């Protein structure tokens, strides 16, 4: 790995100047020209995502780079030897991740389980997993069982059974949020996660472009979509923004996400899916060590999309 990392860094920064975006503002970035051992120089530029930052990179080189250091504030992707920036951090994006995570944290109150490290449900942001195409990726949110209930894989990565790259149980629930990234790329990423059978549910949330029109509360309007993939169950979709994806008001009679606790805009994730852990008799793996409290095991994690919508509107550009 020691010889791979310098080679990849050289490829990533081989040109005299590589422009790395600093801010995203309605599809326009204020770029910073970055050069090794050269003082950064500000410049006005127009970019669009995905933004290519390297080519002719092997899968081994990319995975080694991701494990060592991913560029802070950006999400990268790898396709056929090319490395792209596909997403940037934003307040509304992080707000969505927090709300989805809270839906699972609330199921394991400290009054019952004590320290978060003791909670049967463990929630992490961007832990690296190897996915079926061989790349190593950090999802926006990963939910996995505590090893007190589902043991760490006895066979080193990649198993079986599968684990993350550090030998913890593989995430059973994945959430991905896209702002800059296209809806088609988000769907492709979510379907890739679903190809791992231990991933029982994948939630994809797409936030479309902010509009200049405003809703009754004065927030700039925005289309939003949530998609849920579950193993063995037909895909579900919810359009929960203030307008549809074309920026139009929803037709009269259409279900509109404008209040909390509306069953038409609730995502339910069965907790039992988090503890999915089939036996693998060929390696003597016996499956779960224990089952959580019955009330927890039979519960659902509940994500109210109105709450997600309001968090987006509150945190987006005014």
For residue 283, give the DSSP letter: G
CA pseudo-torsion sign 53, 54, 58, 61:
negative
User: Is the Cβ–Cβ distance between 19 and 13 less than 8 Å?
Assistant: no
CA pseudo-torsion sign 267, 271, 275, 279:
negative
Instruction: Report pLDDT for 73.
Output: 63
Instruction: Report pLDDT for 190.
Output: 97
CATH 3.90.1570 fits 91-315, yes or no: yes
Which residue do the tokens 């849920």 mark? Answer: 228
Instruction: Map residue 14 onto helix, strand or coil.
Output: coil
Instruction: Report pLDDT for 122.
Output: 97
Instruction: Report pLDDT for 33.
Output: 29
Q: What is the pLDDT along the chain (318 residues), one digit of tens a residue?
A: 444 444 444 444 443 222 344 443 333 333 332 322 223 333 334 456 777 877 788 888 877 777 765 555 677 778 888 887 777 778 999 999 999 999 999 999 999 999 999 999 999 998 999 999 999 999 999 999 999 999 999 888 888 999 999 999 999 999 999 998 899 999 999 999 999 999 999 999 999 999 999 999 999 999 999 999 999 999 999 999 999 999 999 988 889 999 999 999 999 999 999 999 999 988 889 888 888 888 999 999 999 999 999 999 999 999
Instruction: Report pLDDT for 10.
Output: 47
Rounded CA-CA distance 231/190 in Å is 12
Instruction: Report pLDDT for 64.
Output: 77
Instruction: Report pLDDT for 56.
Output: 82
Which residue do the tokens 């599968």 mark? Answer: 162
Instruction: Report pLDDT for 60.
Output: 82
Instruction: Report pLDDT for 89.
Output: 76
Which ranges of 195-239 would DSSP assign to H, the alpha helix? none
Instruction: Report pLDDT for 85.
Output: 78
Instruction: Report pLDDT for 47.
Output: 52
Domain ranges, ordered by start, for the chain: 4-88, 91-315
Instruction: Report pLDDT for 69.
Output: 57
Look up residue 1 and give its two tokens: 């790995």
Instruction: Report pLDDT for 71.
Output: 56
174 contacts: CB under 8 Å, gap ≥ 6 = 139, 141, 142, 143, 190, 193, 199, 201, 202, 203
Instruction: Map residue 285 onto helix, strand or coil.
Output: strand
Instruction: Report pLDDT for 78.
Output: 82
Rounded CA-CA distance 203/230 in Å is 9
């Amino acid at each position: 790995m020691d010889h791979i990392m310098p080679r990849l860094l050289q490829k990533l920064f081989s040109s005299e100047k590589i422009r790395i975006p600093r801010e995203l503002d309605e599809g326009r970035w204020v770029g910073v020209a970055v050069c090794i051992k050269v003082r950064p120089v500000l410049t006005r530029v127009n970019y669009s995502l995905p933004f290519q930052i390297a080519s002719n990179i092997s899968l081994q080189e990319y995975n080694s780079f991701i494990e060592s250091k991913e560029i802070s504030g950006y999400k990268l992707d790898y396709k056929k030897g090319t490395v792209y920036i596909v997403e940037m951090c934003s307040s509304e994006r992080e707000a969505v991740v927090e709300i989805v995570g809270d839906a699972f944290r609330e199921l394991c109150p400290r009054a019952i389980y004590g320290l978060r490290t003791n909670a049967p449900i463990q929630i992490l942001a961007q832990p690296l997993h190897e996915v079926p195409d061989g790349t190593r990726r950090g999802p926006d949110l990963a939910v996995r069982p505590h090893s007190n209930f589902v043991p760490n894989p006895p066979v080193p990565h990649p198993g079986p059974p599968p684990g993350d790259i550090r030998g913890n149980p593989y995430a059973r629930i994945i959430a991905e949020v896209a702002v800059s990234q296209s809806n088609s790329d988000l769907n492709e990423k979510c379907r890739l996660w679903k190809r791992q059978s231990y991933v029982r549910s994948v939630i994809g949330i797409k936030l479309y472009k902010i509009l200049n029109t405003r809703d009754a509360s004065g927030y700039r309007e925005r289309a939003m979509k949530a998609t849920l993939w579950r193993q063995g169950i037909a895909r579900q979709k919810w359009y929960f923004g203030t307008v549809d994806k074309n920026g139009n008001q929803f037709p009269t009679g259409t279900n509109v996400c404008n209040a909390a606790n509306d069953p038409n805009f609730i995502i339910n994730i069965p907790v039992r899916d988090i503890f999915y852990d089939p036996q693998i008799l060929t390696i003597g793996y016996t499956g779960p060590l224990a089952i959580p409290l019955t009330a927890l095991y039979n519960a659902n994690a509940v994500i109210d999309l109105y709450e997600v919508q309001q968090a987006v509107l509150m945190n987006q550009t005014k």
